[in-house]
Amino acid sequence: MKRSISKGMAAGLGVALAVTMAACGKTEPNNNSSGGSGDVDCSVYSQYGDLKGKSISIYTTFVDAEGATYEESFKGFEQCTGADIKYEGSKSLTTDVLGRIEAGAVADIVAFPQPGLLQQAVATGKVLEAPAAVAKNVDTYWTTSWRDYGSVDGKLYASPLGASVKSLVWYSPQAFKDAGYAVPETWDDLLVLTDQITKDGDVKPWCVGIADGDATGWVATDWVEDMVLRSAGPAAYAQWVNHESPFNDPKIVESLEEMSKIVRNDAYVNAGIGNIQSIAATPWTDGGTPLLDGQCFLHRQASFYGGNYAQESATVAEDGDVWAFYLPSADPSIKPILGAGDFVAAFADRPEVVAFQTFLSSPDWANAKAKVTEGGWTTANNGLDKANLRSAVDQLAFELLSDPSAEFRFDGSDLMPAQVGSDAFWKQMTAYFAENKSEQAVADAIEAAWPKS
Amino acid sequence: MGSWDSLLLHPTTVGGKLLLMVIAIAVFALVMAVVLALADRLGRFPGWVTALVFLFPVLGLVCFGLIYPALVTIKNSFFDATSDKFVGFANFATVLTGSEFLITLRNTLAWVLLVPLLATGIGLVYAVLVDRARVERFAKTLIFMPMAISMVGASLIWKFVYNDRVGILSRCYVTVAGWFGNEDAQAPHWLMNAPWNTFFLMVIMIWIQAGFAMTVLSASIKAIPDDIVEAGRLDGLTGVKMFRYVTVPMIRPSLVVVMTTVAMTALKAFDIVRTMQGGHFHASVVANDFYTWSFNNHDAGIGGALAVLLFVIVVPVIAYNVNQLKKAEDIR
Amino acid sequence: MTVATVPAPPAGTGKNPAPRSGRAARARRNLTSPWASVVALGIGLIWSVPTLGLFVTSFRARKDISQTGWWDALKPQNWGQFSLNNYQTVLSGGGTSDLSDYFINSVVMTLPAVVIPIFLALLAAYAFAWIPFRGSNILFVGLFALQVVPIQVAMVPLLRSYVDMGLNASFWVLWLSHAMFGLPLATFLLHNFMKDIPRSLVEAARVDGAGHVTIFFKVIAPLMVPAVASFAIFQFLWVWNDLLVALAFGGNTPDLAPITARLADMAGSLGDRWHVLSAGAFVAMIVPVAVFLALQRYFVRGLLAGSVKG
C-alpha cells in the first residue's frame, strides 16, 4: 500500500476541521490547537542547543490539515532552539523524490512513506547514515524489527516516524449487541460468525472496496498479507516478502484460497454495494460506509479508516457507532499484526539537521505530535504516553503496536520492489476481483513481474 | 546577496513576486528587441544567418528543454534501471514481449485514431450547427467549458458519470432498462470491462478536446468567403451537400491541424487513464506504462524504451503533416 | 481572421458589390434554421451534464454525495441538503496558508509563462515564414514534431541543470519550463498564420526600404493580434491548470505553489474528500472561464486563420 496513512489522516482531520467550523464558525481551525504554544516548556529542548538563525528543510507526503499538525508539532522545537523549519508536503513525493535526490535538489530531511522507497534512495548513495544520537533513540524507543525497516544492509539510515495498524475489522457494536454476536477470537470463529450473519438475515456480512485511482488494489494486498500471516505464518511471511520463497509458493496460494472463502463468496460480499466484481470498482473510502446503516457487518481496514467514519459523522468508540476488533488468527497463541509506517532520513549533516533528526526520533516529538492531532495518527515509539493520543482508535492501535505478545510485521507490499509492491501486486489483485482470476494465476503473474537480478 | 536573492530569485512578498514577474517579462522583451536589432544589421549576410538570429532563442530553449532530455531518454532506453550498465535492446525486448503489451498498443492506437476523429467530427458538426445561430455564443461556451477545467476536476466530474451508484450514466442505464421491463437491471461497470472501458475513458478526452476543435473550426468556417458559399447555392447545393462539397474542402487545412494537435495530445495523455482507474482492467496505454515504469517503478531503462516507442508511434502523424505541408507549399 | 485583415478576395469580380453583400446576408438568414439551433443546444446541454453534476455536488455534504446521485438533490424535497460548507472549507484555505498566496503564485507563474513563448515564437515564425533559407522546412517540421516529447522525460535532466545554475525552486524555472514546453505548438500555430499574410504587403514594405524591425512591428505585428490572442488562451489554460511542472520544479510551498497544488491537497486525496474538491474545482475554474470570455472574440477569429486561404 502507498500513501494510505496520509489518506486516512487527512480524512480524519477533515472532519475535525469541518466540525470545528460548524461549531464555532471559525475559519482558521488550526489556530485552535496552538492556543498554548506560547508557554512551551523549553527544558526538554535544551539538549538540542541554540540553533538561532539556522534553517532545516523537511519534505513529507503530508498535506493540508494533516501537514499542519506536523508543522504544529515542530513549533516547540522552533521556539526553544530558534531554528526555522521549512516544511514541504507533497502527495507526489513518491514520484518526485528520487529525481530530486539525483538532481541534488532534495530537502535536508525526507519522510519516506515506505521502506522500499527508502532503500531505493539509499541505493543512490546520497542518504546519510543516522547519527549516533538518532541510533540511540531508535534502540531505546523502538523494537529491533522497526530498526530493521529503517536500515539497509545492517546500517541504520532512517528513524521511524508514524505507524498504523492494518489487522483490524470494523464493526458496529450496537448491531452486534442487537443480534447477539460476540467478537470472534479465532479465524474459524470469524468464518462461523460470517456464516451465521448470512443465515440470520438477508444481508451479506462483508463489505470491501479496493479502488483508489492510480493506487487501486492496495487494500486487497493488505488483505493478502494479513491472510499469509494467519494461514502460512509469520516465518513464511518474512520469506515471501524478501523473495526467499517465490511469490507463487503453494503456501501463498493456499492463503489466497483461504481469503477467497470470504471475499470471493457471493453470499458474503459485497454487502450493501453489489456483487464480487463491485469490490474492484468501489473506492476504498466508501468500502466501509454500508456498515453505518446496517447493510454490512464486517469491514477489514486499517486504523486510519476511523477518520473516514468520523467524516461520515459516526462516533468511533467501543460504545459508539463503529469500533474495530483485531483480525483473529487461526491459532490464538500467535498474534501477528500487520502494520505500516514512515521513516525519516537525512541528506545533510549540519548540526541543526542532526539536532532536528534526533528530536523527531525522540518521545518529545511523538508526544507533541499526539497532542496536536485530532485523530488518525499513532506511532510505535514506546516513549509515547498513550493518554496524549486524542482518538480512541489511535489508542487501540498504539496498544496493539506495543503489545509484547504480538508479532508485528510490516506491510509486505511496502517492502517489495516497486514493480511488484505498487504495480503487479495491485494490478493482479484487482484482476482477482474484476475478472475472477484464479489464485494460482494471480500468484504466477506477480512472480513473473519480480525483477530478475 | 540576500537582497538580490529575494529580489531576483526567491521573493516572498506579493509585491516582490509581482515585481519579479514584470522583470521577467521585460527581460524577454529585451531579448526580442536585441534579436530584431541584430537582424537589421545583418542585411548583407546570407539568409540563413539572419534566420538563425531569429530562431536562436527558440532553438536554444528547445534544445535545452526538449531535445537534450529526449536524447537522454533514448540513451537510457539502452541502459539498465539505474542507467549504469549498457543492456542493448533488452529493455525493448522486455517491453515488446510483456503479456499486456499488445493490448496496451491496441488501446494506444485506438486513442490516437478515434479521439482526434471523434473530437474533430463533433467539433466540426457543432461548429456548423451553431454557425450564425442566434444562441451561438452561449452554445459555444457550453462546449468550451471542459477545456477550462483542470484534470483534477475533470476526473472528479466523470466519477459522477461512471460510478456504479452515484453516476448518472449508470442511473440512466437502469432507468432505460426499467422502461423495457427489466426492473432490477444492474448497470455495467463502465470502466472495468475491456475493451469497452477504453472507449469510456476516451469519451472524457473527446469531451475536453471537442471544445478545442469546435472553436478552431468555427473560426475557419467563418473565414470561408461568402462568394463561395453563394456560388455553391447557385449550383443548387444545400444542407449536407453544402457541408460536403464546400465547407469541408474549404477548411481542410484547419482540420489537419486540429486532428494532428489532438492526436499528439491523445498520444501523450495518461492522466485520464491513471486517475480514473489506474490503468487496470486492460485499459492501459503506452504513455501510462511509460509513467508507471519511470516514476512508480523507477526503472529509467524500461521507462525510456516506452518513451522511445511513443516517439515511433508519432512518426506517421508527422509524415502525414509533412505531406500536407508540401501540398500547401505547392499551392502557394 | 484573414477576411477581416486582408483586402477582399478577388472572387465574384464580375458582380456588383452591393447586391452581393445583400445576397450574402440573405444566405445567412436562410442558413439559420431553428432546428439546427435546437440540436446544437441539445448537444451543448449533454456536454454540460457532467459539469452540472459536479456543480450540484459541490453544494452537498459528503454523506449525501456518496449515498445518492447528485440528481436526487435537485428534487424540491431535498433542497435543504444544499449548503456552502464545501466552499467555506476551500476559501478558508484549510491549511496554514491563505488561499490568496497561492492565487498570487498562479498569476505570477502564468503571465510570463504565456508571454515569453509568444515573444520567442513570433521571432521564429517570422523567420520560417519570411526568410527563405535552406533546411527551413526540415527545421520547422522537426520543431513541430517535438510536441510529442512528454514533459515527464524532461523532469530529471532539467531539474539537474536548474540546480547547477542555482535557479532551482524559483519562478524562473517555472517560466522557462512552461515556455519551452509551449514553444513547439506556439511556433507551429503562429507560423501557420504568418505565412498567409499576403506576400504583397511584405514585399511592398521591403521596396520602401523597411528592415526586419519595421516590417515586424509595422506590418506583421498588427495582423498577428488575433493569432497571438488565440495561442495565449491555450497556453493560459495549460499553465493555469498545470500541477505537474509546478510540483516537480517549484515544490509545494506557499512561496511558489499555484492554486491547483493547493486544491489538489485539499482533496486530502482523490476520493475521500470529493466534496471539498468539487468546490475547489469551481473556484479554480473562475479565472480560466473569465479569460476565455474576455478573449473569445479574438479567439474565434484567430488560431487557424492562417491555414485558410483568403
In the structure, what pLDDT confidence band is assigned to residue C272 with cuts at 50, 70 and 90? Answer: low
Give the length of chain C. 310
In the structure, what pLDDT confidence band is assigned to residue C274 with cuts at 50, 70 and 90? Answer: low
Residues 51-70 of A with CB under 8 A from C: 63-68
- Asked if B129 has any chain C CB less than 8 Å from its own CB, the reply is yes
Cβ contact B291–C41 (<8 Å): no
Q: Annotate A40-75 with b (16+ C-beta within 10 A) or e (fewer).
A: beeebbeebeebeebebbbbbbbbbbbbbbbbbbbb
In the structure, what pLDDT confidence band is assigned to residue B194 with cuts at 50, 70 and 90? Answer: confident
d(C-alpha C234, C-alpha C259), whole Å: 18
In the predicted structure, residue C117 carries a pLDDT above the cut 90:
yes
Q: Is the peptide bond before C30 cis (omega within 30 degrees of 0)?
A: no
d(C-alpha B78, C-alpha B91), whole Å: 7
- Asked if B26 has any chain C CB less than 8 Å from its own CB, the reply is no
Kindly state the DSSP code that residue B65 receives in the 8-state scheme: I
Q: Annotate C127-164 with b (16+ C-beta within 10 A) or e (fewer).
A: bbbbbebeebeebbbebbbbbbbbbbbbbbbbbbbbbe
Give percent above pLDDT 90 in chain C: 20
d(C-alpha B228, C-alpha B226), whole Å: 5
* pLDDT at residue B205, as a whole number: 94
* pLDDT at residue B331, as a whole number: 62
Determine which helix (DSSP H) or strand (DSSP E) holds A409, and give its type and residue range: strand A406-410
* pLDDT at residue C303, as a whole number: 40
Cβ contact B254–C304 (<8 Å): yes
Three-class SS of residue A452? coil
* pLDDT at residue B144, as a whole number: 86
pLDDT tens-place values along chain A, 453 residues long: 444 443 333 444 343 434 333 433 333 334 334 434 446 788 889 999 999 999 999 999 988 878 888 999 999 999 999 999 999 988 889 889 999 998 999 999 999 999 999 999 999 999 999 999 999 999 999 999 999 999 999 999 999 999 999 999 999 999 999 999 999 999 999 999 999 999 998 889 999 999 988 889 999 999 999 999 999 999 999 999 999 999 999 999 999 999 999 999 999 999 888 899 999 988 898 899 899 989 999 999 999 888 888 877 889 999 999 999 999 998 888 899 999 999 999 999 999 999 999 999 999 999 999 999 888 899 999 999 999 999 999 999 999 999 988 899 999 999 999 999 999 999 999 999 999 999 999 999 999 999 886
CATH 3.30.70.60 fits B97-331, yes or no: no
Query: Closest chain B residue to C141 measured between Cα atoms?
Result: B322
- Asked if A280 has any chain B CB less than 8 Å from its own CB, the reply is yes
What pLDDT digit, counting tens, does each position of B266-304 carry?
998 888 898 888 888 999 999 999 999 998 889 999 999
* pLDDT at residue B43, as a whole number: 67
Query: Closest chain A residue to B155 measured between Cα atoms?
Result: A213
Higher pLDDT pick, C61 / B88: B88
Q: Which residues of B touch A274 (CB under 8 A)?
A: 164, 186
- Asked if C156 has any chain A CB less than 8 Å from its own CB, the reply is yes
| Average pLDDT for chain B | 87
C-alpha C111 chain-centroid distance: 12
Higher pLDDT pick, B324 / A56: A56
* pLDDT at residue C299, as a whole number: 56
ipTM: 0.86
* pLDDT at residue C24, as a whole number: 47
In the predicted structure, residue B317 carries a pLDDT above the cut 60:
yes
How far B275 CA sits from the closest chain A CA (Å)?
5
Cβ contact C266–A284 (<8 Å): no
* pLDDT at residue A306, as a whole number: 87
Q: Which residues of A touch C265 (CB under 8 A)?
A: 63-64, 67, 89, 91
**CA neighbor of A230 nearest in space, from A339, A380, A338, A340:** A338
d(C-alpha C64, C-alpha C86), whole Å: 13
How far B100 CA sits from the closest chain C CA (Å)?
22
How far C80 CA sits from the closest chain B CA (Å)?
19
Q: Taking residues B21-50, report their average pLDDT.
A: 86
d(C-alpha C106, C-alpha C258), whole Å: 4
Higher pLDDT pick, B234 / A8: B234
- Asked if C268 has any chain A CB less than 8 Å from its own CB, the reply is yes
What pLDDT digit, counting tens, does each position of B103-144 carry?
999 999 999 999 999 999 999 999 988 887 777 778 888 898
Kindly state the DSSP code that residue A298 receives in the 8-state scheme: B
Residues 365-404 of A with CB under 8 A from C: none
Is the torsion defined by CA of C95, C96, C99, C102 positive or negative?
negative
**CA neighbor of C239 nearest in space, from C187, C181, C283, C160:** C181
Query: Closest chain C residue to B318 measured between Cα atoms?
Result: C145
In the predicted structure, residue C146 carries a pLDDT above the cut 70:
yes
d(C-alpha B125, C-alpha A416), whole Å: 52
What pLDDT digit, counting tens, does each position of C246-260 carry?
988 888 888 889 988
* pLDDT at residue A6, as a whole number: 39
In the predicted structure, residue C96 carries a pLDDT above the cut 80:
no
Q: Which residues pair with A340 in a beta bridge?
A: A164
In the predicted structure, residue B248 carries a pLDDT above the cut 70:
yes
Query: Closest chain C residue to B251 measured between Cα atoms?
Result: C308
Q: Which residues of B touch C28 (CB under 8 A)?
A: 132
> Are C146 and B66 within 8 A, CB to CB?
yes
Q: Which residues of B touch A94 (CB under 8 A)?
A: 296
* pLDDT at residue A18, as a whole number: 40
Question: Domain limits of chain B?
Answer: 2-41, 97-331
Superfamily of chain region C2-10+89-307: MetI-like (1.10.3720.10)
How far B147 CA sits from the closest chain A CA (Å)?
22
Which of B4, B31, B48, B55 has the most C C-beta neighbours within 10 Å, making it the best mutation to test the interface with C? B55
Residue ranges of domains in chain A, CATH in brackets: 4-164+340-410 (3.40.190.10), 168-301+417-449 (3.40.190.10)
